[in-house]
Chain A
Amino acid sequence: MSWRKIFAQGATVLALGLLDALGIWAFSSLLLRGEYWMAAGLSVALGLINWIYLSKRTYPLKYLIPGLLFLTLFVLYPVGYNIYIAFTNYGTGHILSKEQAIAQFESKFYLPPDTETFRYSVFQREGGTEFVFLFYPEDGPVLFARKGEVTPVDPGDQDFLDEDSDGVIDGVQGYRRLALPELVRNLSTLQAMAFPLGEKILRMTSLQEFSAYEHRYRYDPEADALVDLLSGTVYRPVEGFFTSPEGEILLPGFTIVVGWRNFFALVTNPQISGPFFRVFAWTFAYAFFSVLLTFALGLFLAYHLNNPYLRLRRAYRMLLIVPYAIPAFISVLMWRGFFNTEVGVFNQILYSLFGVKIPWLQDPFWAKVALLLNNLWLGFPYMMIISLGALQSIPEELHEAAQIDGASAWQRFWRITFPLLLVSLAPLLIGSFAFNFNNFTNIYLLTEGRPPIPGALTPAGSTDILISYTYRLAFEGQRGNQYGLASAVSILIFLIIGTISWINFRFTRALEEVSENV
């Protein structure tokens, strides 16, 4: 065995060992938290990885498995989770699981009106960790509390001490009193301690006091109902809230599965379905014209920059890539300023030259023009780069042959260059279309979907595309966030884009035949 091989195998074992150590740690902490499904998934994945890297038969998988794992983790799992959320009412008021909500209700206590409060001292066993308490009632004997039991102290008991000899017990044999800083350091442990006192529960109220509390709610798993022990009201789960017979709800609510309701809402709720087709048409137009305009300009520039006789070609290319290099977040906000009706640079130029002021972001038509212009600026360098690459891959002989046959420059471009370009660029154009179909950033930063439509009963603006409209529906409508509805709409958008892309790819297959015939 060569050194190289030994080194490679050693490295594999070492890396696997580290991974396993990490995995076992994660596995145990998941188990401790009660995340059994996650723990099971993790152990299966871990076992699979070990098998693949240690067995000889699985050689090819070694190269695939990292990619597949990341695909599962960052694509399949979020997609699956998104689909699950679409069938729930997850959103404001319904964030917690039912168990979490019940746990929160059951941990609620109330102080009965005539409750007792106690000053206290806390002690820790010498050299140990156990905490014990002495409680001082207003009258009556001092109480001693340890491990969930409370007993009155007999003043004659040798286990208790009266350190300052004032007739009140203030020490415990074998235990040491906690000073304030130490008490505070252990406050969270002490806060969680509770001692039964008859029907009531002694709990810490503040740094100085313990009080006798009573449970406010009790959950009855048989009846699936929450009982308010103070008023006797029975709350039953309705639509993700514990609800009294009178319809009063308890906060917080919890997440429930609502079936197809979010999807039905897309069709039956006029709020959502009303502006849908208008928004859809503009989304389509926006994506289409964005691709068309950026591609036209990008190809035009690339075609001319490809001319070997052009001087300073490299400098031009570099300059033209600048818009691509500036983050869209910054340049869109700058363009928003440029488009300002009064103080924006475009209108100042137009006004001094022609005496007109265009209501760029106030008029539906001009707002759409502004969006396309802005997107043209952001998008053409990408198109130019891919066109430059594609142009260079077209064999020069084809042009020469055509020239000899007497084809004009125009004919050579449209009959030879362009079809061949499309063969390699069409998938990228489809990708660009899908990207712009969901180009939330551009819309949200430049127009926020505005201007509004006069008299509309839904808050959908003239320049809202599907994704920004979804955002409005889910996060700016009603009360807070409606993740369930948002997930349902995003699935719908996925279906639309999927269909369009599928049709487009069928179309490009036709193009490929062109290249086969060349």
Chain B
Amino acid sequence: MRNFGIAVLSILVLGMLGLASEPGKLIVWCDETRAPALTEAAQKFTAAYGVPVEVVEVPFGDIRGNLAVTAPTGEGPDIIIGPHDWIGELIFNGLLEPIFLPAALLAQFDPASLEAFSWAGELYGLPYATECVALVYNKDLVPEPPATFEELIEIAKALTEPEKGQYGFLIQQPDPYHTFPLHSAYGGYVFGSTPEGTLNPCDIGLDSEGSVKGARLLDRLVKGGILFAGADYQTVTGLFNEGLLAMFIGGPWTLPGIHAAGINYGVAKIPLIEGNTPRPFTGVQGFMVSAFSENKILANLFLKDFLATKEVMLAIYERGQRPPAYLPALAELADNPDIQAFAASAADGIPMPKIPEMASVWGAWSDALELIVSQKLGPEEAMRNAAEQIRTLLGCK
């Protein structure tokens, strides 16, 4: 109901400001981080063609919900930003329009990022960044990143002294997104594929052998005194920024905080688990065009000629520190070790499932991890329960 209230309020406010999609004027909804880079590109567009472009700051978490409420009434934006895993729900709701880019331009994007924004053979977004987690470590405590997970556990055990508030290695819990590399290294998955290559919402792999093995590894970390229950995002990043944590699994969004804290850090791929590559979820951020826009070709033109440029992509990178999906911009950052490490980790990644059924997975999966970490349930039973819960929720029995 809170979202609904906010949506209603925003309709009132946006309606009064007259920020509705209208012919001959582009409206872009984006969060405050991306806004400055976009405003610059928008000014260039206006200078070139005399077409006004309005960049409206909307809190990131509200963009999807507000689009659903405002677009069908003709009050919505022409372009929004968001992650690729929104597109399933947005297409289900009839809110997105495919975009068309010339082949030469498509070739300048990371193919995985284009794949992430594709649905039923059509492209629904212009990607600008890929993000995923990797191993972030404190170089003063761990000079060289471990090459294998066994090595990581050894180092972590040696460095963990809870009495002194010192910790060796943490994964924020209960958090499926950050724990998925453990599952995926053993071949664990969330949704299996249909013969046509799309995701099958009834093939739920949380209790597959690989996922359970990953959960056992998590259980081992807890039993070994390395992980503790209640290590959430604030705790993990807080400890690391105070120099009290040697290693953690984290994404590029933790870097600004670490820079500010002045920690001597490094980023590396998550070490091999029994010789297998841990595969993190990759999320791709991009620009999408509303199905209710009256300026679709104009919006395409803006995306193609004014946003898909090195300057704009680098300006967006400056603000968010996520590896660009636009290859010329990524090449520009070739000597940035953090970006290269996150990009390398993303190269092993699995795109986050974008089907709307994913909404039912997070809760049950988090619950399973929580029960394992607090030692209330064994890994096998916890994962089986989670999978059963999701199957019941989705009516897959």
Q: Say whether B356 contacts A477, CB under 8 Å.
A: no
Q: From residue 176 to 207 of chain A, which have CB atoms closer than 8 A to chain B?
A: 180-182, 184-189, 191-192, 204, 206-207
Q: From residue 140 to 179 of chain A, which have CB atoms closer than 8 A to chain B?
A: none
Interface residues of B: mostly helix, strand, loop or mixed? helix
Q: How far is the CB of A325 from chain B (nearest CB, A)?
A: 23
Q: Say whether B374 contacts A362, CB under 8 Å.
A: yes
Q: Say whether B51 contacts A184, CB under 8 Å.
A: yes
Out of B23, B49, B300, name the residue touching A189 (CB < 8 Å): B23
CA distance A505 to B48 in the complex (A): 68
Give per-residue flags for A462-492: 1 if the beta carbon is below 8 A from chain B beta carbons, else 0.
0000000000100111111001001000100
A93 / chain B contacts, CB cutoff of 8 Å: 92-93, 356
Give per-residue flags for B156-169: 1 if the beta carbon is below 8 A from chain A beta carbons, else 0.
00000010010000
- Let me know if B289 is at the binding interface, CB within 8 A: no
- Let me know if A60 is at the binding interface, CB within 8 A: no
Closest to B24 in A: A188
Q: Say whether B94 contacts A490, CB under 8 Å.
A: no
Q: How far is the CB of A455 from chain B (nearest CB, A)?
A: 6
| Interface hub of B49, B230, B381 (most chain A Cβ within 10 A) | B230
B300 / chain A contacts, CB cutoff of 8 Å: 206
- Let me know if A337 is at the binding interface, CB within 8 A: yes
Q: Say whether A477 contacts B360, CB under 8 Å.
A: yes
Q: Say whether A459 contacts B363, CB under 8 Å.
A: yes
- Let me know if A451 is at the binding interface, CB within 8 A: yes
Q: Say whether B389 contacts A343, CB under 8 Å.
A: no
- Let me know if B27 is at the binding interface, CB within 8 A: no
Q: Say whether A458 contacts B389, CB under 8 Å.
A: yes
CA distance A461 to B362 in the complex (A): 14
Give per-residue flags for B84-111: 1 if the beta carbon is below 8 A from chain A beta carbons, else 0.
0000010111110000100000000000
Q: How far is the CB of A349 from chain B (nearest CB, A)?
A: 14
Spot the interface stretch: B134-142, B257-265, B290-298, B325-333: B290-298
- Let me know if A101 is at the binding interface, CB within 8 A: yes
Q: Say whether A359 contacts B229, CB under 8 Å.
A: yes
CA distance A253 to B93 in the complex (A): 7
Q: Say whether A101 contacts B393, CB under 8 Å.
A: no
- Let me know if B370 is at the binding interface, CB within 8 A: yes
CA distance A490 to B1 in the complex (A): 9
Measured as residues with beta carbon below 8 angstroms from the partner, the interface class of chain B is 35 or more
Q: Say whether B363 contacts A476, CB under 8 Å.
A: yes
Measured as residues with beta carbon below 8 angstroms from the partner, the interface class of chain A is 35 or more
Q: Say whether B359 contacts A362, CB under 8 Å.
A: no
Q: How far is the CB of A107 from chain B (nearest CB, A)?
A: 9
Q: Say whether B301 contacts A184, CB under 8 Å.
A: yes
- Let me know if A28 is at the binding interface, CB within 8 A: no
B382 / chain A contacts, CB cutoff of 8 Å: 454
- Let me know if A236 is at the binding interface, CB within 8 A: no
CA distance A206 to B359 in the complex (A): 36
Q: Say whether A452 contacts B229, CB under 8 Å.
A: no
Out of B3, B23, B94, name the residue touching A101 (CB < 8 Å): B94
Q: Say whether B2 contacts A440, CB under 8 Å.
A: yes
Q: From residue 270 to 303 of chain A, which have CB atoms closer than 8 A to chain B?
A: 271
- Let me know if A508 is at the binding interface, CB within 8 A: no
| Interface hub of B2, B91, B298 (most chain A Cβ within 10 A) | B298
CA distance A336 to B388 in the complex (A): 30
- Let me know if A340 is at the binding interface, CB within 8 A: yes
Closest to B2 in A: A440
Out of A100, A186, A271, A478, name the residue touching B359 (CB < 8 Å): A478
- Let me know if A33 is at the binding interface, CB within 8 A: yes
B162 / chain A contacts, CB cutoff of 8 Å: 342
CA distance A191 to B68 in the complex (A): 24
A476 with B50, Cβ < 8 A, contacts A253-B92, A362-B230 known: no
Q: Say whether B297 contacts A187, CB under 8 Å.
A: yes
Give per-residue flags for A441-457: 1 if the beta carbon is below 8 A from chain B beta carbons, else 0.
00000000011101111
Spot the interface stretch: B182-190, B231-239, B340-348: B231-239
Out of A104, A252, A342, name the residue touching B231 (CB < 8 Å): A342
A478 / chain B contacts, CB cutoff of 8 Å: 357, 359-360, 393-394
Q: How far is the CB of B326 from chain A (nearest CB, A)?
A: 21
Q: How far is the CB of A260 from chain B (nearest CB, A)?
A: 20
A451 / chain B contacts, CB cutoff of 8 Å: 370-371, 374, 376
CA distance A477 to B382 in the complex (A): 18
A454 with B377, Cβ < 8 A, contacts A341-B228, A478-B360 known: yes
- Let me know if A361 is at the binding interface, CB within 8 A: yes
Closest to B8 in A: A78
Q: Say whether A95 contacts B93, CB under 8 Å.
A: yes
Out of B48, B362, B370, name the residue touching A452 (CB < 8 Å): B370
Q: Say whether B23 contacts A188, CB under 8 Å.
A: yes
Give per-residue flags for B382-395: 1 if the beta carbon is below 8 A from chain A beta carbons, else 0.
10010011001110
Q: Say whether B360 contacts A479, CB under 8 Å.
A: yes
A475 / chain B contacts, CB cutoff of 8 Å: 3, 359
Closest to A249 in B: B92
CA distance A98 to B216 in the complex (A): 49
Closest to A347 in B: B230
Q: Say whether A207 contacts B23, CB under 8 Å.
A: no
Q: Say whether B235 contacts A461, CB under 8 Å.
A: no
- Let me know if A496 is at the binding interface, CB within 8 A: no
Give per-residue flags for B211-249: 1 if the beta carbon is below 8 A from chain A beta carbons, else 0.
000000000000000001111101100110000000000
B357 / chain A contacts, CB cutoff of 8 Å: 478-479
Q: Say whether B356 contacts A104, CB under 8 Å.
A: no
Q: Say whether A95 contacts B356, CB under 8 Å.
A: no
A181 with B94, Cβ < 8 A, contacts A189-B23, A362-B374, A459-B364 known: no
- Let me know if A392 is at the binding interface, CB within 8 A: no
Q: Say whether B74 contacts A459, CB under 8 Å.
A: no
CA distance A100 to B76 in the complex (A): 15
B234 / chain A contacts, CB cutoff of 8 Å: 337
- Let me know if B60 is at the binding interface, CB within 8 A: no
Out of B50, B228, B291, B355, name the residue touching A104 (CB < 8 Å): B291
- Let me know if A97 is at the binding interface, CB within 8 A: yes
Out of B235, B364, B376, B393, name the residue touching A454 (CB < 8 Å): B376
Q: How far is the CB of B310 from chain A (nearest CB, A)?
A: 22
CA distance A29 to B274 in the complex (A): 66
Q: Say whether B359 contacts A480, CB under 8 Å.
A: yes
- Let me know if A326 is at the binding interface, CB within 8 A: no
B68 / chain A contacts, CB cutoff of 8 Å: 95
- Let me know if B72 is at the binding interface, CB within 8 A: yes
List 17 interface pairs A-B (beta carbons < 8 Å), by A numbering: A92-B359, A100-B72, A100-B94, A101-B94, A104-B94, A184-B48, A184-B298, A206-B297, A251-B91, A252-B91, A252-B95, A340-B235, A341-B230, A362-B229, A456-B389, A458-B389, A477-B363
Residues on B lying within 8 angstroms of A by beta carbon are 1-4, 8, 23-24, 48-51, 68, 72, 74, 89, 91-95, 100, 162, 165, 201, 228-232, 234-235, 238-239, 291, 294-298, 300-301, 355-357, 359-360, 362-364, 366-368, 370-371, 374, 376-377, 381-382, 385, 388-389, 392-394
6 closest pairs, A vs B, by CB? Answer: A252-B94, A452-B367, A188-B23, A479-B356, A184-B49, A362-B374
Sample of 9 further A-B pairs with CB below 8 A, known A451-B370, A454-B382:
A187-B24, A187-B297, A207-B297, A207-B301, A360-B230, A362-B374, A452-B367, A476-B363, A479-B355
Residues on A lying within 8 angstroms of B by beta carbon are 33, 78, 92-93, 95-97, 100-101, 104, 180-182, 184-189, 191-192, 204, 206-207, 251-253, 271, 336-337, 339-344, 359-363, 440, 450-452, 454-459, 461, 472, 475-480, 483, 486, 490
